[in-house]
Amino acid sequence: MRFKNYTRQRKKPIQGLRSFKDSLPKDIKEIILKKADIYSKITNNWKKIVGTDLFEACYPKSFKNLKTSRIKLLYIMVKRGHEIKVEYSRSVIQEKINSFLGYEFVNKIKLIAYKDNQK
């Protein structure tokens, strides 16, 4: 019986359970790592990107890439009462994110309001 090379990621056998990272196909693993790296760059440098005023009013929630329509959406959580300030600076945030990364990462920004319980 022939051994299929594409069923395993490691060449040497390991004892016990395989890690989740090793069980994924190589192509999917690269895509996940690339998107996670870019999203973590945005969240870690959010204060530098948007400034202190908008940093206290909003934060990035998630990123969605719609390949069929070539739309790259960034969802931003906004505190209630600050929606207008963030809405007017939506294009500025988009330009700053794209210039920070060096290429067009975001086409559209969607705002999601939430109630802040800390006072």
In a domain, 78, yes or no: yes
Q: Give the domain extent around 109.
A: 19-114
- pLDDT band at residue 2 under the 50/70/90 scheme: low
Name the residue with higher pLDDT: 17 or 107: 107
63 assigned to some structural domain: yes
CATH of the domain at 78: 3.30.300.180
Tell me if 88 is assigned to some domain: yes
80 phi and psi, to 5 degrees? Answer: -60, 135
Q: Hey, how many other C-beta atoms are within 10 angstroms of the C-beta on 7?
A: 7
When mean pLDDT is compared across 7-11, 55-59, 90-94, the lowest value belongs to 7-11
Q: How many domains does the chain have?
A: 1
Whether the predicted model's global pTM rises above the 0.85 cut: no
Question: Is 10 a member of any domain?
Answer: no
pLDDT at 9 over 60: no
